[in-house]
Structure 1
Amino acid sequence: MVIWARGVPGPGFVAGVVVSTWLDTASPAGTIAWLLIAHPPPRRPGETAGRIEAGLRGMAGALGLRAASRHVPVVGDRLTARGPHLALDYGHPDFCLRVPRPAPRWLGYVLNGGAVCLVVCLDAIAAGAGPGLIEERLRRTAERDRVLVGATGLRHGGPRGHR
């Protein structure tokens, strides 16, 4: 069962996304934690590239993300922590996305107030894709304005984020 709220996909869709994190310490802007959300090619009954893109656009719209070719908007603090676990408030009123097992350095940077560049890639990225493939896919996809970005961080206080 897929639950959609105001164009924002529910847990059935979110369970199928690819999430990747990495820490860039060589950026001209200083250290940046990256959080990528993408989707593998259609593989389930009834799943199409169009439906997948609609779900990703619903998430990106609710997050306030913009094309990577434009100014990176600050979308507010969307991450919450409970111990070593992080969840992303992606705009659904009842559900959040759990960030799966980030590396200790990435997690430490974010927990200490570091900025996170949130990226939604509208082109398919297979689960288990390595850094080289992800980097190439993001570069080619960004050239066509199909990478949506925003800056976020850790939310302090407030109950939202763990469901």
Structure 2
Amino acid sequence: MTAADLDIPPGPGFVIGVTAATGVHLTQAGEMAQLLITHPGPRRAIETVEDIEDGMRRLATGLRLGPGLVEPPTIGPRLMIRRGLAALDYGHDGYVMAIPSPLHGWLQLVTSGGPCRICLVTAPLALTATQTETDAHIRSSLARGQVLWGTTHARRRWSL
């Protein structure tokens, strides 16, 4: 995959397989909404771990996320909230990524204009991973340069 290929966000066929989890973290500055984006790995015979990691890097590029070992960039308004539904504009011209079942506190924080830290892990993470396994996976992925992140907030309007 070339650098130019990374500039093309993945399509809905890839993004539908991405997993998103919401949470609220208490920092010294106050509450911070969090969005963890992972992928469970290959599920079809034609998919490979490399394909998944490439798709996740393209997703991170579309979101303008930075490396996890440096201060997260501010990536502008990428979240859209309407009637309790949440979506993420990941840079595709025609599609957004649905965020299934966001936590109520997360929705309140984002709807009120609070920041949201997006953390994307390129290495696949099993859907059955426990909290402890997820934490270990994120830490080891961070050490390998497979974590990208950025800070966003909700748009005032739902349209793209």
TM-score under structure 2 length normalisation: 0.91
| Structure 2 stretches lacking a partner, 5+ long | none
Give the distance between the partners of 2:154 and 2:90, measured in 1 at CA.
Answer: 13
From the two aligned structures, give the one with the greater strand fraction: 2
What is the letter of the counterpart of residue 9 of structure 1?
P
Q: How many residues align?
A: 156
Q: 1:6 to 1:140 in 2, by over 3 A?
A: closer
Q: Residue 13 of structure 1 aligns with which residue?
A: 14
Identity %: 36
CA distance in structure 2 between the aligned counterparts of 1:132 and 1:84, rounded to whole angstroms: 29
C-alpha separation between the residues in 1 aligned to 2:28 and 2:138? 19
List structure 1 runs of 4+ shifted beyond 3 angstroms.
none
Where in structure 1 are there 5+ consecutive unaligned residues?
A: none
1:18-69 deviation per Cα after TM superposition (whole angstroms, max 9, x unaligned):
11111112x2343111101111121212101111111111110111101110
Q: How far apart are 1:100 and its partner, in Å?
A: 0.5
Aligned residue identity for 2:83: G
Q: 1:41 to 1:5 in 2, by over 3 A?
A: closer
Q: TM-score, normalised by structure 1?
A: 0.89
Alignment of 1:144-163 (within 5 A): 144-157=144-157, 159-160=159-160
Shift of 1:6: 4.9
1:136 Cα deviation (Å)? 1.7
Q: Structure 1: which amino acid aligns with 2:9?
A: V
Q: Cα gap change, 1:114/1:130 in structure 2, threshold over 3 Å: closer, same or farther?
A: farther
Confirm or deny that 1:60 pairs with 2:45: no
Letter in 2 for 1:73: P
What is the RMSD of the two structures over their aligned residues, measured on CA atoms?
1.7
Please give the residue correspondences for 1:37-116 in structure 2 after superposition, counting only pairs within 5 Å. 37-116=37-116
Rounded to whole Å, the distance in 2 between the matches of 1:72 and 1:6 is 19
